[in-house]
Amino acid sequence: MKPTISIGNQNFVKIRENNYFYIDKTSFIKEWWDNGDDVTLITRPRRFGKTLNISMLEAFFSNQYAARADLFEGLSIWKEKTYQKLQGTYPVISLTFADIKGTTFKDTKEGIIYAIAECYRNYSKLWQKDIFLHNTAVDSEITRALKELSFYLSQYYNKKVIILLDEYDTPLQESYVHGYWEEMVAFTRSLFNSTFKTNPYLERGIMTGITRVSKESIFLDLNNLEVVTVTSNKYKTVFGFTQKEVEDSLKLFDLSNTIEKVKFWYDGFQFGNQTDIYNPWSITKYLDSGKLKTYWVNTSSNSLVSKLIRESSSEIKITMEDLLAKKQVITQLDEEIVFNQLDESDASIWSLLLSSGYLKAKQISNDEEELYQISLTNYEVQKMFKKMIENWFKNPSAHYNDFVKAFLANDIEYMNEYINQVALQTFSSFDTGKHASYTEPERFYHGFVLGLIVNLADKYHITSNRESGFGRYDVVLEPIKDNLDAIIIEFKVYHQSKEKDLQETANRALAQIEEKNYDAYLITKGISKKKIRHYGFAFQGKKVLIQEAIFINRGCI
C-alpha cells in the first residue's frame, strides 16, 4: 500500500505517528554522534530536509520523548543497540530562525526574542515564574538567554544540554537585503559566542543554514566550530535523496517508467564527492502529482539571487550567458560568504549560488589556487533562471516583447521607438553598485543580452564579449536555422569630445564592426557575409539610438 505524502510536513514525530511517506535518514544520528564535534554548522540549500532532520534529532535525543522508542523502530538507527539506550536521555533546546524575516533590526530582534522565549515555555513546568523578560529585555540579556536556559536545564536534569538551531542565517540574509547588516552581525556574534562557545552547560550543538557566513562576521570566537558545506564529504547523503532512494520511491508509487525524465529534470546536486543527489521537495511533489514542474525553484526566495545578478558586473552577466548556454565555467570560489562584500566579489556571488543549490561545482587541481568548474545544477534550475530574467522585462510599459518582434523583423524605426522605452523602464534596475554612473550602459546591455538569450534561444545561439577578427565583439546572434540572418551588435557610449551627436556615436559602433572584422567568427561557421546584419547601439544617459549598416544586395556601400 502506498503511504500518504504529507506535503510540507517537517515534523518527524507527526510523520512517523501517521505513517506518512518518509525516507530513512536516521543514519545521520549515529554519524553525527560518533564524530564527537562540539558544535557543527551544516549548510545545505533550502528544502533539503534540514528542518526535518533537526526535528528527528530532537525526537531522538530529547528526554521529552523518553518513552517514544516507537518513533524509531524499523529505522536504521534502531539496529544499533547502543543507540537504543541513548534515545530520550538529554535535555534538548531546539529553535528555528526560519521565519525571522524582519525588514528592520528591531523587528528581527523581536523575532529572535520570541523564538528563545518559546524554548523557555517548552520547559515552563520546571519553574514557577517566567524567567525570560521578552520584549523588555536588553541585548545583553537576550544574547545570554540560551546559555542561562542551558544552566537551568543542566541543574534540573544533572546533564548537559544539546542545542539545535535551524536556519541560523535567515535573519542575516534579511539584514543584508534590508540594510541593517552591521547591527545584526554584532548582535548575532554575541548570541552565538554565549550560546556555543562560552557555555559550560553545552554537551553538543548543531546549526543549519543555507550559507556559511564568514568567520570574521559572526564566528570569530568559535574555534570549536566544525563547518560542513556542500563541498564537504561529511553527511553527504543525509540531506537530499540519493539515486537509489529516488528509484525506490518511484517504484513504490508505480512511476518507475519515468526515471529518465525525473533524472533530467531534478538530478544534478552534489555534496562532497557524492553525485546524483535530488532535492526532496521536487521529488515528493512529483510523487504526489505525477507532473514534472519547477517545484523547488518556484518560490519567492529567489529574490536575493535575482537582485545580485541583475545588479552585478558585466562579467557576472557574461558568465550567466555561458551557464544558460549549458557551458561549464572555470572560476574561484570562497565558501565563506561576506554579505556586505557581495557587490565587490564575483567569487562570492558564485559561492552564494553554489550554497543555494543553483550551481554545482567540481574542483580542478591547480598548483597556485583552487579552481572549480561550475555549471547550472539541472533543467529545473535552468528554467528558473530563464523565468527570472524574463521577469526583469515583464513591466508592460517596457515594451520588451515589442522590441524583440521589431528586431526580428529588421524594422529599425520601431526598434528605436521601443528600445528607448525599454531602456527608460529598466536602466534603473541595472544601474546599481558603487560605480553605477560609469557602468550604466554596460550593466544594462548585458542584462538586455540575457533577455535576448531567454527570448530567442529557440532561434539563435547568442554570445557576448568574445574574440573575433581583431577584437572583441559586443553581441553576436548566430542563427540556428538557415532562413535567419546572423546579427552583430556593437554598443557605444556618447562622448561629447569625440562625437557631435548620437548618430555619429552609432556610426562609430558600425565602423568598429567593419574595422575589427567581427564577421570573421560567423564566416568560419559557414555563414555568408550577405547573411550578416550589423547594428550600432549608441547611448547617452537613458537615450538610445540604433543604426543599421546599409547594404545593397548585401554588399556594403
Q: What is the CATH number of the domain that holds 413?
A: 3.90.1570
- 327: in domain: no
Quick one: which H or E segment has residue 100? none
- 477: in domain: yes
Per the DSSP assignment, residues forming a β-bridge with 269 are 277
* DSSP structural state of residue 274: E
Residue 311 corresponds to which cell in the numbers above?
545588479
Can you give the pLDDT at residue 235? 97
- 368: in domain: no
- Whole-angstrom Cα distance, residue 306 to residue 321? 15
Indicate if 537 and 413 belong to the same structural domain.
yes
Q: Is 262 helix (H, G, I), strand (E, B) or coil?
A: helix
Indicate if 401 and 532 belong to the same structural domain.
yes
Quick one: which H or E segment has residue 301? none
- Whole-angstrom Cα distance, residue 185 to residue 91? 29
Q: Are 357 and 372 within 8 A, CB to CB?
A: no
- Whole-angstrom Cα distance, residue 89 to residue 395? 58
Taking Cα atoms as reference points, which of 417, 391, 384 lies closest to residue 403? 417
Q: Is 294 exposed, middle or buried (0-12, 13-18, 19+ CB in 10 A)?
A: middle
Q: Is 377 helix (H, G, I), strand (E, B) or coil?
A: coil
Indicate if 83 and 139 belong to the same structural domain.
yes
pTM: 0.85
Indicate if 527 and 418 belong to the same structural domain.
yes
Can you give the pLDDT at residue 430? 66
Q: Is 104 helix (H, G, I), strand (E, B) or coil?
A: coil
Answer positive or negative: Cα dihedral of 27, 31, 33, 39. Answer: negative
- Whole-angstrom Cα distance, residue 327 to residue 349? 18
Indicate if 78 and 180 belong to the same structural domain.
yes
Last residue of a domain, one of 228, 258, 280: 228
Neighbours of 55 (CB within 10 A): 22
Indicate if 99 and 76 belong to the same structural domain.
yes
Can you give the pLDDT at residue 443? 67
Q: Are 266 and 283 within 8 A, CB to CB?
A: yes
* DSSP structural state of residue 194: I
Indicate if 223 and 249 belong to the same structural domain.
no
Q: Are 485 and 532 within 8 A, CB to CB?
A: yes
Last residue of a domain, one of 204, 228, 252: 228
Residue 206 corresponds to which cell in the numbers above?
548543531
Query: In Å, what is the CA distance from 396 to each residue of 400, 416, 426?
Result: 8, 17, 12
Residue given cell 525526537 in the structure block: 59
- 39: in domain: yes
Amino acid in the structure at residue 549: A
Can you give the pLDDT at residue 193? 94
Indicate if 94 and 68 belong to the same structural domain.
yes
- 370: in domain: no
Can you give the pLDDT at residue 540? 82
The β-bridge relationship of strands 269-271 and 92-96 is: unpaired
- 378: in domain: no
- Whole-angstrom Cα distance, residue 341 to residue 438? 19
Q: Is 106 helix (H, G, I), strand (E, B) or coil?
A: helix
- Whole-angstrom Cα distance, residue 10 to residue 399? 43
Residue given cell 574595422 in the structure block: 515
Can you give the pLDDT at residue 438? 44
Indicate if 79 and 211 belong to the same structural domain.
yes
Indicate if 219 and 284 belong to the same structural domain.
no
Can you give the pLDDT at residue 255? 96
Per the DSSP assignment, residues forming a β-bridge with 508 are none
| 3-class SS letters over 201-223 | CEEEEEEEECCEECHHHHCCCCC
Domain with residue 199: its CATH number is 3.40.50
* Vertex 165 angle, CA 342 and 99, to 5°: 65
- 330: in domain: no
* DSSP structural state of residue 2: P
Can you give the pLDDT at residue 474? 80
Quick one: which H or E segment has residue 548? strand 543-548
Taking Cα atoms as reference points, which of 335, 305, 304, 341 lies closest to residue 320? 305
Q: Is 297 helix (H, G, I), strand (E, B) or coil?
A: coil
- Whole-angstrom Cα distance, residue 471 to residue 511? 13
Amino acid in the structure at residue 516: K
Residue given cell 559557414 in the structure block: 526
- Whole-angstrom Cα distance, residue 310 to residue 280? 29
Indicate if 25 and 149 belong to the same structural domain.
yes
- Whole-angstrom Cα distance, residue 418 to residue 402? 7
Q: How many structural domains compose the chain?
A: 3
* Vertex 140 angle, CA 138 and 145, to 5°: 95
Amino acid in the structure at residue 176: Y
Indicate if 128 and 220 belong to the same structural domain.
yes
The range of the structural domain enclosing residue 542 comes to 388-556
Chain-centroid distance, C-alpha 132: 36
- 494: in domain: yes
Q: pLDDT (tens digit, 0 to 9) for every residue of the chain, 557 residues total?
A: 789 999 989 999 999 999 999 999 999 999 999 999 999 999 999 999 999 999 999 999 999 999 999 999 999 999 999 999 999 999 999 999 999 999 999 999 999 999 998 999 888 887 655 555 455 678 888 999 999 999 999 999 999 999 999 999 999 989 988 889 999 999 999 999 999 999 999 999 999 999 888 877 788 778 889 999 998 999 999 999 999 999 999 999 999 999 999 999 999 999 999 999 999 999 999 999 999 999 987 655 667 787 778 777 777 888 888 888 888 788 888 778 777 777 667 777 888 889 999 999 887 766 667 788 899 999 999 998 888 888 777 765 557 888 888 988 999 999 998 888 887 777 666 654 444 444 556 667 777 777 887 888 889 988 877 655 555 668 889 999 888 999 999 988 888 888 889 999 999 999 999 998 999 989 999 999 989 999 998 888 778 899 998 654 444 44
Q: Is 492 helix (H, G, I), strand (E, B) or coil?
A: strand
Taking Cα atoms as reference points, which of 392, 304, 320 lies closest to residue 359? 320
Q: Is 38 helix (H, G, I), strand (E, B) or coil?
A: coil
